[in-house]
Amino acid sequence: MIAPGTYEELRNELATRHKDLSKRLKQIAEYALDNPNDMALETVSGIAERATVQPSSLIRFAKAFGYSGFSEMQRVFRTHLVESGANYKERIRSFGRDDETSEYTRNIVLDDFVDGGIAALDNLREVVDPDKFEAAIKYLREADVIYLAAQRRSFPVASYLAYAFAQLDKRCVLIDGNGGMFFEQGRSIRKGDALLAISFKSYSPEVVQLVKETRENNIPVVSISDGVLSPLTQNSDVCLEVEDIEVHAFRSLAATMTLALTLVVALGRQLQE
Amino acid sequence: MIAPGTYEELRNELATRHKDLSKRLKQIAEYALDNPNDMALETVSGIAERATVQPSSLIRFAKAFGYSGFSEMQRVFRTHLVESGANYKERIRSFGRDDETSEYTRNIVLDDFVDGGIAALDNLREVVDPDKFEAAIKYLREADVIYLAAQRRSFPVASYLAYAFAQLDKRCVLIDGNGGMFFEQGRSIRKGDALLAISFKSYSPEVVQLVKETRENNIPVVSISDGVLSPLTQNSDVCLEVEDIEVHAFRSLAATMTLALTLVVALGRQLQE
DNA sequence: CTCTGTGTGGAATTTTTATTCCATTTTTGC
DNA sequence: GCAAAAATGGAATAAAAATTCCACACAGAG
C-alpha cells in the first residue's frame, strides 16, 4: 500500500475507494473533500468534533490510505493549501534542486528562471494596490520634471523608465551618479517636480538619503520597493510594492520591469487625454 | 496592548514597530514577512530553525505584539493563508470581465502586461536553443573582457548585465555612448575579448555597425535579438533569440531580462568550477 | 571599568496533540 | 439467529509541541 503524495492523487483515491469504505470512513472522506482547509489546519480532535467522529477514526482513516498516521496525511492537505493559494514563494522554494548532470542543468536553469518570473508576475497582479497605483500616476502626471533615482541592480529599471518617459515627451532626469555626482544631480530637484526612486534590499544608502531629503523639502516622492519594511516605503508619499523572486540566489527584474512598463503606459494614456 | 486580529493589521504593526525591536525580534519580523506560510504551518521549533533563532524568541515575539503566545499569533497567519487562497480563486473567476468603470480599467492594464509577460516567458522557454545557449556561454567565459553594446530600449539590459558581470568578477565594459563616444568606446575591444550586443527591431544602426566591425576583426560576437531576420543574427557568431510580446503598443523586457539573468547565472557557475 | 537592566540561548516543564489499545457494538456469512 | 470478523468509541498512553524559567551575555550609564 503506497500513500498518495499529492492532493490530487489523494482525491482520486478517495473517489475510487469511497464506496468500499466503512460507514465512519465514508463520513470522514466526505468531510475531507468538503473541508480540505480544516484537514490542513485543524487538530485531530478539532476535526473529529466538526465531523462528529472519534479522533481514533481519523487515524484509522489515514492508515487506511497508506499513511503512517494522521500527521503524514495532513501534510498532503497543507502542501495543497499552500500551492493552490496565491502564495507564490513556497512554490518557488519547491523547485530549484539542481544537483543534476550539466547536460540537464542548462535547461533546468532557464526553466527555473522562467518559472520564477511567471510566479513573480502572478504575484505582482495580486499585490499591486490600485489606489496606490493611481496615486503614483497622479504625482507623476503633475510633475514638471520626473527625477529618477536607482542604483546597482535597480538602475536598469530607472534607465528603462528614462527612455520610456522620453518617448512620451515627459521630461525626466536620470540620476546616474556619473562622475560621483549623485547628490549634486539629485539636489537640483525643485518644487513642482517629483522623485521616482527604486531600490530593494539591501537598500542603496544614497537613494534612501535622497528620498528623505526630497521628502523634507515637500517634494512628492514615489517609490518602487519591496514590502513594508523598506525605508523607501516609510519616507515616500506613495510606494508600490514588487517582489521579484530569488532563484539560485539571483533575483530577476521581470516583475519590476513589468510594473515600470505599466506605469509608463498608464501615464501615457492620461497625458493623451 | 491589543493584539492585531488580521494579517494586514499585523503587517502594519510589524512595519511601524520594526525599527524599535531588538535584534532577534527584528530578525523574526523579517522572516515572518518573507515567509508567512511558514508562520502559518510550521511548528515553533521548525520556524526557529529556519529563521535561525531560538524557539523562546518566537514566543517572546508573539507576546511583544500582544498575543498570549505563539499559537494565538499563528492563528492570524493561518486565517490569512486560507483567505488569500479564496481571494485568488475569486479573482480567477472574475477574470476576463472588462465592463468598464475606470475603477476597473486601470487594473486591466496591469493584467494585460502581466499576461503578456507570462506569455513571453513561456515562449522564451520554447525558443531558446540549448546548443546556442551553451555556445554563447563558452564565448563569454573565454573572453578576457566582455564588451556590452545596446541602445535605447535595450540599454537597460546591458546595464543590468554590466552590474551582474561585475558581481561575478567578470571584467566588462558597458558601452553607454556617454559623450557621444559610442564608437570610440566600442573600438577599444581587442583580441581575446568578446562583444555581447543586444538590439531589437528597429535595430540601432550604431550597434549593428559595431557588430559588423567587430566580426571583421575576428573577435567573437554574441548577440541577443529577435528572429532570424535581425542583422545581428547574420553578423554574430551566436545569436540568442527572444521575443518580448507587444501589448498596447509597448514591449516589456520581462523575457529579455530573464534570459540575461540566466546567462549570468550559467556563466557564474562555470566560472566557479 | 563596573554596575544595571534588557535581551538571549537553552534546558526543564507544562500543555496540547497524536496515537494505541481494548472492551463493546455492529455487520457479515452461514 | 449465531458465531466470527470487522468496525467503533473512548479512555490510556506516548509523542510532540508550546511555554516558562533561569543563568549568562551584552549594551549603555555613571
Strand, helix or coil at A241?
strand
Whether residue A30 has pLDDT greater than 60: yes
Q: How confident is the model at residue B95 (pLDDT cuts 50, 70, 90)?
A: very low
Backbone φ and ψ of A253, nearest 5°:
-120, 15
Whether residue A114 has pLDDT greater than 90: no
Percentage of residues of chain B with pLDDT beyond 90: 48
More confident residue, A179 or B205: B205
Whether residue A98 has pLDDT greater than 90: no
State residue B163's pLDDT score.
Answer: 93
Q: How long is the CA A228 to C1' C5 vector, in angstroms?
A: 31
Q: How confident is the model at residue B86 (pLDDT cuts 50, 70, 90)?
A: low
Q: How far is A128 from chain B (nearest CA, A)?
A: 9
Whether residue B82 has pLDDT greater than 50: yes
- B47-B49-B53 Cα angle (round to 5): 90
pLDDT mean over A161-166: 93
State residue A269's pLDDT score.
Answer: 84
Beta strands in B32-163 (DSSP E): 146-150
CB A130 within 8 A of CB B106: yes
State residue B85's pLDDT score.
Answer: 63
Give the CA-trace dihedral at A56, A57, A58, A59, to 10 degrees.
Answer: 60
State residue A178's pLDDT score.
Answer: 85
Q: Which long-range contacts (CB under 8 A, 24 or more apart) does B201-204 make?
A: B201/B226, B201/B230, B203/B230, B203/B231, B203/B232, B204/B150, B204/B151, B204/B152, B204/B154
Measured to protein CB atoms, the chain D nucleotides within 7 Å are 6-11, 16-21
Packing angle of the helix pair A70-84, A7-17 (nearest 10 deg): 120
Strand, helix or coil at A5?
coil
Exposed e or buried b per residue across B182-217, where buried means at least 16 C-beta atoms within 10 angstroms of its C-beta: beebbeebeeebbbbbbbbeebbebbbebbbbbbee
Contacts of A163 in chain B (CB under 8 A): 152-153, 155-156
pLDDT mean over A262-266: 90
Q: How far is A267 from chain B (nearest CA, A)?
A: 11
Q: How long is the CA B41 to C1' C25 vector, in angstroms?
A: 38
Q: How far is B229 from chain A (nearest CA, A)?
A: 24
Q: How long is the CA A22 to C1' C25 vector, in angstroms?
A: 14
Whether residue A270 has pLDDT greater than 90: no
More confident residue, A50 or A221: A221
More confident residue, A89 or A53: A53
DSSP A231: H
CB pairs under 8 A between A and B: 171
Q: How confident is the model at residue B108 (pLDDT cuts 50, 70, 90)?
A: low
Say if the Cβ atoms of A82 and B264 lie within 8 Å: no
Whether residue A71 has pLDDT greater than 80: yes
Whether residue A90 has pLDDT greater than 80: no
Give dist(CA B57, CA B59) in Å, integer: 5
Amino acid letter at B63? Answer: K
pLDDT in tens, B110-139: 888 888 888 888 888 888 888 999 999 999
Amino acid letter at B5? Answer: G
Exposed e or buried b per residue across A77-112, where buried means at least 16 C-beta atoms within 10 angstroms of its C-beta: bbbbbbbebbbbbbbbeeebeeeeeeeeebebbbeb
State residue B122's pLDDT score.
Answer: 85
Give dist(CA A131, CA A267) in Å, integer: 14
Whether residue B93 has pLDDT greater than 50: no
* Nearest beta carbon to residue A262 from set B34, B113, B122: B113
Nearest by Cα to B140 from B6, B22, B269: B269
CB B120 within 8 A of CB B169: no
A138 by Cβ neighbours in 10 Å (0-12 / 13-18 / 19+) ranks as middle
For residue B1, how many other CB atoms are within 10 A of its CB? Answer: 7
State residue B1's pLDDT score.
Answer: 63
Say if the Cβ atoms of B117 and A114 lie within 8 Å: no
CA B130 from chain centre, in angstroms, equals: 21
Exposed e or buried b per residue across B110-131, where buried means at least 16 C-beta atoms within 10 angstroms of its C-beta: bbbbbebbbbbbebbbeebeee
* Nearest beta carbon to residue B114 from set A41, A124, A253: A124
State residue B197's pLDDT score.
Answer: 97
Percentage of residues of chain A with pLDDT beyond 70: 89
pLDDT in tens, B228-269: 778 899 899 999 999 888 777 778 899 999 999 999 988 988
Q: Point out the least confidently predicted range of A71-75, A185-189, B12-16, B157-161.
A: B12-16
CB A125 within 8 A of CB B111: yes
Give dist(CA B33, CA B14) in Å, integer: 8
State residue A96's pLDDT score.
Answer: 41
pLDDT mean over A192-200: 96
Whether residue B20 has pLDDT greater than 60: yes
Whether residue B57 has pLDDT greater than 50: yes
Q: What is the mean pLDDT of chain B?
A: 86
Beta B246-247 vs B250-251: how paired, if at all? antiparallel
Q: For A122-176, give the secondary structure using H, E and C.
A: HHHHHHCCHHHHHHHHHHHHHCCCEEEEECHHHHHHHHHHHHHHHHCCCCEEEEC
* Nearest beta carbon to residue B125 from set A114, A124, A250: A114
Give dist(CA A149, CA A207) in Å, integer: 6
